[in-house]
Structure 1
Amino acid sequence: MDTPADPEPDSPAAEVGVGPHPLPWPDDDRLDPQLLRDGDRRNVVDRYRYWTVEAIVADLDTTRHPFHVAIENLAHDFNIGSVVRTANAFNASSVRVVGRKRWNRRGAMVTDRYLHVEHHDDAAALAAWAAAAGIPVVGVDNLPGSVPLETFDLPRECVLLFGQEGTGLSDAARSVCTATVSVAQYGSTRSINVGAAAAVAMHAWIRRHVFDQPPA
Structure 2
Amino acid sequence: MSSPSRPRPAARHAGRPKRPSGPLPHRPGDIDEAVLYGAHPVIEALRNPARRFRKLLATENGLRRLTEEVGELPLAPEMVRPSEIDRLLTPDAVHQGLYLVCDPLPSPDLDALPQDAVVLALDQVTDPHNVGAILRSAAAFAVAAVIVTVRHSPAATGVLAKSASGALEHVPLVAVRNLGDALDMLGRRGFMRIGFDSEGSEPFEGVTLRRPLVLVMGAEGKGLRQRTRELCDHLVRLDMPGAIKSLNVSNATAIALYAASRAD
**Structure 1 CA distance, aligned partners of 2:261 and 2:66?**
27
**Structure 2 CA distance, aligned partners of 1:202 and 1:192?**
14
Alignment partner of 1:122 is 2:189: no
Distance 1:189 1:109, change over 3 A: same
**Structure 1 CA distance, aligned partners of 2:177 and 2:69?**
44
Where does residue 98 of structure 1 map in the other structure? 149
Alignment partner of 1:156 is 2:211: yes
Where does residue 29 of structure 2 map in the other structure? none
Q: Which runs of at least 4 in structure 1 moved beyond 3 Å after TM superposition?
A: 12-18, 74-78
CA RMSD of aligned residues (A): 3.5
Where does residue 139 of structure 1 map in the other structure? 195
**Structure 1 CA distance, aligned partners of 2:69 and 2:243?**
51
Q: Say if 1:73 and 1:103, in contact at 8 Å, map to a contact too.
A: no
Secondary structure at the counterpart of residue 263 of structure 2:
helix
Secondary structure at the counterpart of residue 80 of structure 1:
helix
**Structure 2 CA distance, aligned partners of 1:203 and 1:13?**
34
> Deviations for 1:103-139, whole angstroms, at most 9, x for unmatched residues?
1524222311222210122332222331342212110
- Give the TM-score normalised by structure 1: 0.65
Q: Number of aligned pairs?
A: 170
What are structure 1's unaligned runs of at least 5 residues? 22-31, 39-53, 55-60, 210-216
Alignment partner of 1:166 is 2:221: yes
Secondary structure at the counterpart of residue 144 of structure 2:
strand
**Structure 2 CA distance, aligned partners of 1:164 and 1:83?**
12
Q: Say if 2:67 and 2:73, in contact at 8 Å, map to a contact too.
A: no
Which moved further from structure 2: 154-163 or 95-104? 95-104
**Structure 2 CA distance, aligned partners of 1:92 and 1:162?**
14
**Structure 1 CA distance, aligned partners of 2:125 and 2:140?**
25
Distance 1:6 1:78, change over 3 A: closer
Name the % identity. 23
- Give the TM-score normalised by structure 2: 0.54
**Structure 2 CA distance, aligned partners of 1:20 and 1:197?**
33
Secondary structure at the counterpart of residue 219 of structure 2:
coil
How far is 1:165 from its partner?
Answer: 1.6
Secondary structure at the counterpart of residue 34 of structure 1:
coil
Where does residue 58 of structure 1 map in the other structure? none
Distance 1:157 1:19, change over 3 A: same
Distance 1:15 1:134, change over 3 A: farther
How far is 1:18 from its partner?
Answer: 7.8
Where does residue 19 of structure 1 map in the other structure? 68
Where does residue 181 of structure 1 map in the other structure? 236
How far is 1:76 from its partner?
Answer: 4.8
Secondary structure at the counterpart of residue 208 of structure 2:
coil
Q: Say if 2:148 and 2:179, in contact at 8 Å, map to a contact too.
A: no
Q: Which has the bigger relative contact order, CA under 8 A and spacing at least 6?
A: 2
> Deviations for 1:70-112, whole angstroms, at most 9, x for unmatched residues?
1112645641111111111111111101352641524222311
